[in-house]
Amino acid sequence: MKKRTFISLVSLSLITACSGKTPEFSNVSVHDPSVIKVDETYYVFGSHLASAKSKDLMSWTQLSSGVDDGNVLIPNVTEELSETFSWAQSDTLWAPDVIQLPDGKFYMYYDACRGDSPLSAMGIAVSDKIEGPYKNKGIILKSGMAGTGDDGEIYDATVKPNVVDPDVFFDKNGKLWMVYGSYSGGIFILELDSGTGFPLPGQGYGKKLLGGNHARIEGPYMLYSPETDYYYLFLSYGGLDANGGYNIRVARSKNPDGPFEDSEGKAMIDAQGTPGKLFDDPVYSPYGVKLMGSFEFVNTGEEPEASGAGYVSPGHNSAYYDAKSGQYYLIFHTRFPGRGEEHEVRVHQMFMNKQGWPVVAPHRYSGEIIGKYTAGEISGGYVFINHGKDITADIAESEPIELTVDGKITGAVTGTWKLAGDHTAELTIDGTVYNGVFLLEWNEAAGSQVMTFTAVSAEGVSLWGSHAAVVKK
């Protein structure tokens, strides 16, 4: 029988233990969402001059979409950015980033690209208000030219960056940086002037962090954790469309400009393609901790059908750390099984495991706060996802397992599990140890609270589990 999307069931004790009302979600489409919080409101800015806002990271309101002169962000965009469009031979804009600098103004780092080549331009537009209007201050970088590039050397797309996908951030010492790049020559970082927002002189394209030879790696985003004192560099591997195998990865460093390593200690500067070969995914897919790829929670054909229990090509994320609550959030766009290229913004909570690597909650954020759990609450049947390490268009389908109350894992995979402290998880499967957390959260497809686990191995493979009632033997 054809597998269907699975409604997870939970015990009555877990449902009654949760005081929360049913979460309310309002969805928006913002491709490549970059997050900024202003006062008590979260904003995301994305490709094609799209933007949205939310007070709670669950219910979103669309603010803008479409590169035309009616867009509230840059009302006269076709004239305002005419030089950018002319250089990039494009009529649209790609993934931007917005940051508030010490002068109190909001700086939008916009970019345009031809798409089938790295002919791109990146610039800055500034506004007194987060919702605009933004006024162009000029182009800061160009790429894809025939001849001399912005670093004074001959432009070679296999080693020089495609100047798109900026993320601008302050390090822990107050220095301003921009990490950027997509495919082509890799991911680069530049130091910026916090007074003007422009790059400090004499850097050219900046310092290379990873990539090259047209490796399918893009969408860099940097997050500093005061908890671990690491800079986490999030990346998207693969292609962004439904068949592209987009997936979210992370590496870390003690310094904002690297060097970055993955959980195996591999140097990310070595994550690059093969000279003379386009998109040689198997060469660089072993690098980086893979947090999430395409997946679907499925049943065995006996349980009732649900919807919305999986993602296709999730990627181009941003991330946010709330210093007051100590919570981490992963914000990204994703497509969905059976829905083609349609995409929406999703937010999941993240946690640092005991090795200091992020793990991502299996279900979208619904206001949950991690708590203290017992072995009895955790034990039971789960639908289980292994995200692997490959770059693939295949959707990882869940398999049934059981976590027995005496610490065993049975079913599709076998091993042991442990609960340490209030919620720390350790799973050993086929001799490999995975560290993470247990978390009670809302399963939107099921319409109920479920116990979950999320954990990652030293090899950079992430596992998810979501509580279910039935385990097929």
Give the number of other Cβ atoms within 10 Å of residue 123's Cβ: 24
Instruction: Give the Cα separation of 416 and 407 in Å (integer).
Output: 5
Tell me 97's DSSP state.
Answer: E
Contacts of 265 by beta carbon, 8 Å cutoff, 6+ apart: none
Contacts of 149 by beta carbon, 8 Å cutoff, 6+ apart: 142, 143, 155, 160, 204, 205
Contacts of 279 by beta carbon, 8 Å cutoff, 6+ apart: 214, 215, 216, 273
Residue 259: cis peptide before it, omega within 30 degrees of 0: yes
- Phi and psi angles of residue 47, each rounded to the nearest 5 degrees, phi first: -60, 155
- Is 280 catalytic? The answer is no
Place of tokens 């495991």: 353
Order the strands of the 135-143 sheet from edge to edge.
97-100, 106-113, 120-127, 135-143
150, 165, 218, 402: the active-site residue: 218
Instruction: Give the Cα separation of 29 and 24 in Å (integer).
Output: 17
Place of tokens 């605009």: 132
Instruction: Give the Cα separation of 308 and 293 in Å (integer).
Output: 15
- Is 32 catalytic? The answer is yes
Strand partners, 295: 311, 396
* Ramachandran sector of residue 151 (left: φ over 0; alpha: ψ -120 to 50; beta: rest): alpha
Break the chain down into helix, strand, coil percent, rounded to 5: 5, 45, 50
Q: Give me the active site residues, please.
A: 32, 218
